[in-house]
């Protein structure tokens, strides 16, 4: 059995992350998982990265995706 590990999220993870939000939403959202390069997602990731008190992590395993 492999251990699940996490790493800092990167821009390449945005499609996966946005899809999780869309799939888990109780109400419809305007989020676009097919456009992970959308400026609002890139800006959100940059803002989180710039704040040392916040983090955004992604599973470090292709099996999770």
Domain coordinates of the chain in residue numbers?
8-24+35-50
pLDDT band for 57, please (50, 70, 90 cuts). Answer: confident
Q: Is the Cβ–Cβ distance between 65 and 17 less than 8 Å?
A: no
How far is the first Cα of the chain from the last one, in angstroms, to the nearest whole number?
17
More confident residue, 21 or 60: 21
For residue range 1-45, what is the model confidence (pLDDT) as tens digits? 567 778 888 888 888 888 888 888 677 788 888 888 889 889 988
Model pLDDT, residue 62: 56
For residue 61, what pLDDT is reported? 57
């Amino acid at each position: 059995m492999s251990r699940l590990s996490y790493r800092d999220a990167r821009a390449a993870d945005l499609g996966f992350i946005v899809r999780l939000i869309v799939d888990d939403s109780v109400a419809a959202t305007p989020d676009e998982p097919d456009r992970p390069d959308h400026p609002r997602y890139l800006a959100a990731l940059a803002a989180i990265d710039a704040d040392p008190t916040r983090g955004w992590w992604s599973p470090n395993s292709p099996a999770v995706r």
